[in-house]
Amino acid sequence: MSGVWSRTKRILRGNLGVLILTTGLWNIAGSLADPYFALYVLALGGSYFEVGLTSAVGNLFMLMPLVFAGSLADVIGRKRLVVFLGFLLSSIYIIFSQAPSWEFLLLGTALNALIHGFREPAFASLVADSTPPEDRALAIALWQRIPQAISLASPVVGGVVIDRLGVVTAMRGFYVITCFTCIASHILRYKYLKETLTANKTDILEGVKATLTEIKEIASHVPRQALILIGINAALHLALMTSDSYWVIYATDDVVGLTASQWGLVTLVQNIILIVCTILFSVVADRYGNFRFVLASLLLTPITIALFPFSQGFTHVLFLRSAYSLATSLRTATFSAMFIDNSPREFRGRLNALQRFASRPMVVSGSLLGGYLYQTLSKPAPFFFNALVMSATGLAFLFLMKETPQKEDSDRGQ
């Protein structure tokens, strides 16, 4: 245990510690609203399909800047983009807080996604550059789960406030709070983050041209395993987004009948499981390898998804969502660690952009398909489709992937 603690302190000493703290601060407010966004769309006049449409449009707009974003991350540097675009993101929460109808949520989601599309390759590269190879799965787990732990109570608080004030009034207040925490987080990032890549003086347009012409170079230099993982990730996004917006709708007033407070409690329990188990599994994975953990997750998670539509009350929902979180925690850090392990450092910005570029069409398709299935076919249909596609993805992973024998190096930003 002392060894794990010393590894944790070493990991948190640099950029990753700053990112974890600031993301946790931001999440305290963001997690008040995020679990209930689909209910907000419905409360402002949207239909089931328009819930999926809002998600799809947002992800379509995130796709648009990715050709530029990977080049920006590698040419300008990670910190500059992350901080500047973070301040820009804070203004979008005002649109969410003042939206008079669901169409304004559509606008806010599109703008939010556009900014995220420019930001995410730089952010992901900054995280990747700050993870030591020998402790990579643990570092990713800490990055994913400590911010979640900081905001652990937020979904419950959000549910209680929604039950008392109503969806619209509560969500408006949540987004105002989120705006200010976003600003505070990026002030801290500006002050304490260290750049992990020396800025390249190449013109941005030249960088974009280089990105487009280097596709063959990337394909020839990047391990085949990384390209397979990009495909696996895209298929997973198709599966997950089909039902993503409909868990809370199905579980609350629409079918099962839970209150917002009860859904908040379910979210609290599943987040505790995710936090604890992700970190525990990552410690073991750093020693024994990531492959078996990802495979187990891809084969077990679909079972919990397929059983969810048969829930008949709070206890059923709590049990199945807890089982879902346990199965998911097997892969959340280990899948990311596998991808970084197979990504040469000099290509990470472009590879992160490529990964997102490949997954976004699947996210858009999954969101639209989920809305169509839920509204026109049957309410359990998105969950069954999710389980089927994820099972097929698990089989593909089994036959196409193998354990990474050598890990790519990183710069911890210290």
Q: Are 335 and 294 in contact (CB under 8 A)?
A: yes
What confidence tier does 6 reach under pLDDT thresholds 50, 70, 90?
A: confident
Average pLDDT, the chain: 87
What confidence tier does 406 reach under pLDDT thresholds 50, 70, 90?
A: low
**pTM as predicted:** 0.82
- pLDDT value of position 253: 79
What confidence tier does 413 reach under pLDDT thresholds 50, 70, 90?
A: very low
Low-confidence winner among 109-123, 288-302, 382-396 (lowest mean pLDDT): 109-123
Q: Which whole number is the average pLDDT over 115-120?
A: 86
Query: Which tops the pLDDT comparison, 141 or 146?
Result: 146
Query: Which tops the pLDDT comparison, 102 or 66?
Result: 102
What confidence tier does 262 reach under pLDDT thresholds 50, 70, 90?
A: very high
What confidence tier does 363 reach under pLDDT thresholds 50, 70, 90?
A: very high
pLDDT in tens, 15-58: 888 999 999 999 999 999 999 999 999 999 999 999 999 999 98
Q: Check whether 412 has a pLDDT greater than 60.
A: no
**Separation CA 38–CA 55 (nearest Å):** 9
284-314 as b/e, with b when 16 or more CB fall inside 10 Å?
ebbeebbbebbbbbbbbbbebbbbbbebeeb
Query: Which tops the pLDDT comparison, 95 or 124?
Result: 95
Q: Are 289 and 341 in contact (CB under 8 A)?
A: no
Q: Which CATH class is domain 2-400?
A: mainly alpha
| Token pair of 99 as six digits | 């939206």
**Separation CA 329–CA 144 (nearest Å):** 10
Question: Residue by residue, what is the 3-state secondary structure of 391-406?
Answer: HHHHHHHHHHCCCCCC
- pLDDT value of position 2: 60
